[in-house]
Amino acid sequence: MYEKLRGVRDFYPEDHIGRRHMHDALYATARSYGFKEVTTPSIEPLELITKKSGDAIVNEIYAFQDKGGRDICLIPELTPSIARMVISRQKELVKPVKWCSLSRHWRYERPQRGRQREFYQFNVDILGVRSSRADFETIACGIDCMLSLGLDNFRFHISDRTLIEQFFTSHGIDASQAFSIVDKRTKVNEGEFRDMLSGIGVGDECYEQLEGLLSLNGPIHETLPEVKETLGACGAHADDALTTLEEIGSLLESYGMDEHCTLDLSIVRGLAYYTDMVFEVFDKRRSMRSLFGGGRYDNLIELLGGQPMPAVGFAIGMPLLELLMREEGTWPEPSFGPDYFVVTIGDVEREAFSLIRALRAKTTVEYDLSGKNLSNQMNLANSIGARRVIIVGERDVKSHVFTVKDMETGDQQQVPMDEFYKTLKE
């Protein structure tokens, strides 16, 4: 007997009811914002991934040589593939480029609750325009994605890496090292966090100021004045970032979505390719790790060989989103029963198949495949959860009627065939 590999999952029919609901809702939301669906290959040149994330990622992914001796990998994320697609048609694409995709990914990491080695992600990206409106549009689409799934137990924690970068730079600290440490702030205890910062030259006074910044958390417009006061004069780049956050806050307020958002400078997203605005989404109680996140990555297209092109987007991991939906009671209950089950008695194959084909144009229909008698056909219809049974017997055919039974109420009636077919055409 074979068992599935660690970190992967089998999806049985009952699992697909919820998955289809989730996928359809996400796509419908993205389409309402004007995003168009794209699909990328599941394998890419390894260099495409290492160019973005560095050589160290090879230990975290499924990388190998193909039969032609080429170094390739199963894709661990979608953004490099999206960038490659954009670069190949960069001159002809109408800006902004608004794409979405639901794709399968693989990472060789320790499986845990809500994290698997094979998983699906839903990506939304806007490329070719740098503005607070593009940032807002991305965040708003993410919020509506959550609302479309019946969820309201979430908060978008919004920040701008430029502010923390300028803070560290003004204190003579290497921001690239500091970001990866700040990103671990909630994953280690205070002593470990302080020791890591001390290791890159953060003294006591700098640490106290940093903690003041990272502890600021609240409505964007209410919290920005505190940020400005705590941050002090950190240069033009920080001023631009503050202006962008203020504009995003105003747009969210005008759109009626500011209640789902909070300003939180502790969000820096340790990944090096993010540039400015970033965000992460948590359940309100912070009982789970980050549900998903995103932000602006203005340098990636150029890094991978294209012309400079700003970009912003997010990626939602399906496993953790499913866990939240189950906890919040919005995961659909499985329901597999067909709308109709056609029971046959005697030599009525031609009439039964005519009925089945007509029904299948609008509804779901099943019938007995193994020659059961009437009683066993009814038992089968009941066991698979059929909503209605239509009995087609030799006497029914002679009388030009169908016997229709509602399996929930037990009500049964005879309906003239012509009348039944007429209702199907309406």
Whether 181 has a pLDDT exceeding 90, the answer reads no
Does 424 or 123 have the greater pLDDT score?
123
Per residue in 339-395, pLDDT (tens digit) is 999 999 999 999 999 999 999 999 999 999 998 999 999 999 999 999 999 999 999
User: What is the C-alpha separation between 303 and 295, in angstroms, rounded?
Assistant: 17
**Looking at residue 157, what is its pLDDT?**
97
**Looking at residue 233, what is its pLDDT?**
64
Query: Both tokens of residue 131?
Result: 């503005």
**Looking at residue 66, what is its pLDDT?**
96
User: What is the C-alpha separation between 122 and 92, in angstroms, rounded?
Assistant: 25
Count the alpha carbons within 13 Å of 307 in the hemisphere toward its beta carbon.
Answer: 7
Query: Both tokens of residue 403?
Result: 């016997």
Architecture of domain 340-425: 3-Layer(aba) Sandwich (3.40)
**Looking at residue 212, what is its pLDDT?**
85
Whether 152 has a pLDDT exceeding 70, the answer reads yes
> For 108-129, what is the mean pLDDT?
94
Whether 232 has a pLDDT exceeding 80, the answer reads no
Does 28 or 175 have the greater pLDDT score?
28
**Residue boundaries of the structural domains of the chain:** 13-154+283-328, 340-425
**Looking at residue 390, what is its pLDDT?**
96
User: What is the C-alpha separation between 314 and 299, in angstroms, rounded?
Assistant: 16
> For 9-31, what is the mean pLDDT?
95
**Looking at residue 239, what is its pLDDT?**
87
Nearest to 94 by CA among 23, 34, 6: 34
Q: Count of CB atoms within 10 A of residue 299's CB? A: 16
340-425 and 13-154+283-328 share a CATH fold:
no
Query: Both tokens of residue 206?
Result: 């700098």
Q: Report the SS3 class of residue 338.
A: coil
> For 243-267, what is the mean pLDDT?
96
Whether 88 has a pLDDT exceeding 80, the answer reads yes
Mean pLDDT of the chain: 93
Three-state SS annotation for 75-95: CCCCHHHHHHHHHHCCCCCCC
- For the chain, percent of residues with pLDDT exceeding 90: 75
Going by pLDDT thresholds of 50, 70 and 90, the confidence category of residue 301 is very high
The CATH fold assigned to 13-154+283-328 is BirA Bifunctional Protein; domain 2 (3.30.930)
Whether 271 has a pLDDT exceeding 70, the answer reads no
Going by pLDDT thresholds of 50, 70 and 90, the confidence category of residue 235 is low
Going by pLDDT thresholds of 50, 70 and 90, the confidence category of residue 191 is confident
> For 69-96, what is the mean pLDDT?
96
Query: Both tokens of residue 418?
Result: 């012509």
Note if the pTM is more than 0.85: yes
**Looking at residue 391, what is its pLDDT?**
95
